A and B are shown apart, each in its own frame.
Chain A
Amino acid sequence: MRRVVVTGLGMVTPLACGVEETWSRLLDGKSGAGTIQRFDASHLATDYACEVPLGDGSDGTFNPDDWMLPKERRKVDDFILYGIAAATQAVEDSGWKPEDTESLERTGVLIGSGIGGLQSIAETAVTIKEKGVRRVSPFFIPGALINLISGQVSIKYGFKGPNHAVVTACSTGAHAIGDAARLIKYGDAEVMVAGGAEAAICEIGIAGFNACKALSTKRKDDPQAASRPYDNDRDGFVMGEGAGVVVLEEYEHAKARGAKIYAEVLGYGLSGDAYHITAPSEDGEGGERAMRAALKNAGLEASAIDYINAHGTSTMADTIELGAVERLLGDAASKATMSSTKSATGHLLGAAGAIEAIFSILAIRDQVAPPTINLDNPAVESPIDLAPNVKREREINVALSNSFGFGGTNASVLFGKVG
């Protein structure tokens, strides 16, 4: 059986642009939340979010000019800009920049998004209403389509292998990485650039999630305390934005070129709830089946899991997932650490599973579990260590990353240390 390893990482998050910049802030317990700066959100039920910090590129800020020329950037929605930035970092980090035809044809891209060019769609609808259909930009469609990150990245690097995209709401990033690993295992490619991106912090995005009662609304005075998974005072998720991208590679291929290997993709599990359009099944049995499927795929027992990066969005569903993980781990529950990094980054929707996969990989690299910040008053007691407010230095050989999405779509990806 072909093995798949991770050889490159890239990310743009509300904490910072860049993997190490984000990771150090995450371990330090920083929050990426604040009052929305991008537009006037004062009329919305929620006027705070976790925005990518814009700046000149120094000190972890995101400078769009570093990743796309201004004339190209105008033609794409921000989710594509973030996706290209994260993919560029990941490819550079991997050192995989082949020029021969065979290598290029054996390298693919699979980067998804939960919603895609939401802001572009909203703006174009207003343009039609105000100025008529003749004012619709020729770049509207190619700038808003979800699979255009994969398209843009393939054009940038000449990668001619499988070109694909996932759209499974908040499970997108996890599904993209899991599916891409399967493509390598199955022999469709040797290398895949995989992940997710999202840029839905705009009026229509906030209004839409407010309407389905998913967002936190009660922390206008203290946005950094709003994302508080497992805490008794949580009142909904805080929207984040950004992108996470990994380079996945067949193990022998990576070894042969002397690549830096971060971790191995040990297993991947998928399931559906068949229950409700936005709520998880009452006891979390759908998520539990995804986790069990990932373990079965890896040939591991649940007791092998050291760290779980939870879906944990800071909604009522947190304790449902926690219950499912407790059932999964059984007697081993007291030995595992589980944290929700959404406490710091907010919920990046289609990018969440991708950045959280990267956090799981870095947890293995550095033998440290990032904290669940703002966890002051746990809603329930659990034998599982939720790493409240402080990172947990501990042995981590196997890490599980969970992502669950609207529509009842669940994905779990299992990463392991390469010895």
Chain B
Amino acid sequence: MSDIADRVKKIVVEHLGVEEDKVAENASFIDDLGADSLDTVELVMAFEEEFGIEIPDDAAETIQTFGDAVKFISQAS
């Protein structure tokens, strides 16, 4: 697993209080990992902070799964 994926996973585990092995490629933040809409806003902010990037609101809405996040961040950074 890439360095980016490791760092994203760490943030997800920390913010959503889930076990690391639940954070699979296609795990949905809301449907599988127990996040609500405010949690996802906070997650995106944490990604921005960690990777020093800006994720515009319309792009943030497309980040639904762990895989989506890793993919977006890999392309942006």
Contacts and interface: CB of A to CB of B under 8 A. Distances in A.
B42 A70 contact: no
B38 interface: yes
Contact of A71 (B17, B48, B49): B17
Contacts of A69: 17
Contacts of A142: 38
Interface in A123-149: 134-135, 137-139, 142
Nearest to B39: A138
B16 A137 contact: no
B7 interface: no
A70 B45 contact: no
B42 A71 contact: no
B42 A137 contact: yes
A137 B17 CA distance: 17
B14 to A, nearest CB: 8
Q: Decide if the interface of chain B is mainly helix, strand, loop or mixed.
A: helix
Contact of A135 (B15, B16, B49): B49
A217 B15 CA distance: 40
B30 interface: no
A135 B45 contact: yes
A230 to B, nearest CB: 48
B41 interface: yes
A104 to B, nearest CB: 22
Ordered nearest first, which 6 A-B pairs have the shortest CB separation? A71-B17, A138-B41, A138-B38, A138-B42, A69-B17, A137-B42
A250 B32 CA distance: 43
Interface of B: 15-17, 38, 41-42, 45, 48-49, 54
A405 B1 CA distance: 59
A72 B15 CA distance: 9
A71 B38 contact: no
Contact of B38 (A70, A134, A135, A139): A139
Contacts of A139: 38, 42
Nearest to B37: A138
A70 B45 CA distance: 19
Q: Decide if the interface of chain A is mainly helix, strand, loop or mixed.
A: helix
B17 A70 contact: yes
Contacts, number: 21
B17 A134 contact: no
Interface residues of A, number: 11
Choose among A69, A139, A142 the residue with the greatest number of B CB atoms under 10 Å from its CB. Answer: A139
A139 B42 CA distance: 8
6 contacts: A72-B17, A134-B54, A135-B49, A137-B42, A138-B45, A139-B38
Nearest to B15: A71
Contacts of A134: 45, 48, 54
A417 to B, nearest CB: 46
A142 B15 CA distance: 17
Nearest to A142: B38
A134 to B, nearest CB: 7
Contacts of A74: 15
Interface string A170-208: 000000000000000000000000000000000000000
Contacts of B54: 134
Interface in A46-99: 69-72, 74
B41 to A, nearest CB: 4
A71 B17 CA distance: 6
Contacts of A71: 15-17
A138 B15 CA distance: 13
Contacts of B38: 138-139, 142
A386 B38 CA distance: 52
Contacts of B49: 135
Nearest to B48: A134
Contacts of B48: 134
A74 B43 CA distance: 13
